[in-house]
Amino acid sequence: MAVNHRVAGSSPAQGAIFLSRNNNKYRSQLITYNKESGFKIMQLKRILSIVMVLTLLVAFPVIAQDEEVTTDQVTTDASIEGEEVLEEEQQPEIAAVVNGEQITRQTIEQFSNIQNLIMSLYQQYQEFTMVLLRTEAGNNVIDEYQKLKLDQLINQILLAQEAVKKGITLSDEEIDQVINNQISSMKEQYDIDDAQFEQTIKDQGFESVEAYKAEFYNNYKDSLVFTIPLANKMSNQIIQEIEITDQEIEQYYKENKANYELPEQVKTSHILLEDRETAEEVMEKLKNGGDFTELAKEYSTASSAEKGGDIGYISKDQNLAKEFKDAVFALEAGKTSPIVETKYGFHIIKVFDKKEAGIRALKEVRNQIEDQLKYEKGQSEVDKFVKKLREEAEIEKKL
Query: 199 lies in a domain?
Result: yes
Query: 386 lies in a domain?
Result: no
Per-residue pLDDT tens digits for 207-231: 999 999 999 999 999 888 999 999 9
Give the span between the Cα atoms of 186 and 282, in whole angstroms: 52
Q: Name residues of the chain where pLDDT drops below 70.
A: 1-90
The pLDDT value given to residue 62: 38
Query: 103 lies in a domain?
Result: yes
Question: In terms of domains, do 326 and 208 share one?
Answer: no
The pLDDT value given to residue 67: 41
Number of domains in the chain: 2
State the distance between the two ends of the chain, measured CA to CA, in whole angstroms. Answer: 22
Of 219, 236, 253, which marks where a domain is finished? 236
CATH number of the domain that residue 65 is part of: 1.10.4030.10
Question: In terms of domains, do 93 and 224 share one?
Answer: yes
Query: 329 lies in a domain?
Result: yes
Query: 117 lies in a domain?
Result: yes
Question: In terms of domains, do 68 and 140 share one?
Answer: yes
The CA R_g of the chain, rounded to the nearest whole Å, is: 30
Question: In terms of domains, do 232 and 270 share one?
Answer: no
Q: HEC states along 236-276? A: HHHHHCCCCCHHHHHHHHHHCHHHHEECCEEEEEEEEECCH
Per-residue pLDDT tens digits for 25-83: 333 333 333 333 333 333 333 333 333 434 444 444 333 334 444 445 444 454 545 55
Query: 170 lies in a domain?
Result: yes
CATH number of the domain that residue 288 is part of: 3.10.50.40
Give the residue from 160, 107, 134 showing the smallest Cα distance to 53.
134
Query: 251 lies in a domain?
Result: no
Give the span between the Cα atoms of 334 and 171, in whole angstroms: 53
Give the residue from 212, 153, 175, 173 showing the smallest Cα distance to 17.
212
Question: In terms of domains, do 169 and 55 share one?
Answer: yes
Give the span between the Cα atoms of 169 and 162, in whole angstroms: 11
The pLDDT value given to residue 19: 56
Question: In terms of domains, do 202 and 113 share one?
Answer: yes
Q: HEC states along the chain? A: CCCEECCCCCCCCCCCCEEEEECCEEEEECCECCCCCCCECCCCCCCCHHHHHHHHHHHCCCCCCCCCCCHHHHHHHHHHHHHHHHHHCCCCCEEEEECCEEEEHHHHHHHHCHHHHHHHHHHHCHHHHHHHHHCHHHHHHHHHHHHHHHHHHHHHHHHHHHHHHCCCCCCHHHHHHHHHHHHHHHHHHHCCCHHHHHHHHHHCCCCCHHHHHHHHHHHHCCCHHHHHHHHHHHHHHHHHCCCCCHHHHHHHHHHCHHHHEECCEEEEEEEEECCHHHHHHHHHHHHCCCCHHHHHHHHCCCHHHHHCCEEEEEECCCCCCHHHHHHHHHCCCCCECCCEEECCEEEEEEEEEEECCEECCHHHHHHHHHHHHHHHHHHHHHHHHHHHHHHHCCEEECC
Which residue range(s) make up the domain with 25?
Answer: 4-236
Question: In terms of domains, do 129 and 179 share one?
Answer: yes
Question: In terms of domains, do 302 and 343 share one?
Answer: yes
- Number of neighbours of residue 124 by Cβ within 10 angstroms: 8
Question: In terms of domains, do 169 and 309 share one?
Answer: no
The pLDDT value given to residue 354: 93
Query: 151 lies in a domain?
Result: yes
Give the span between the Cα atoms of 147 and 399, in whole angstroms: 7
Of 356, 373, 388, which marks where a domain is finished? 356
Question: In terms of domains, do 68 and 207 share one?
Answer: yes
Question: In terms of domains, do 154 and 300 share one?
Answer: no
Question: In terms of domains, do 91 and 191 share one?
Answer: yes
pTM of the model: 0.60
Q: Is 48 helix (H, G, I), strand (E, B) or coil?
A: coil
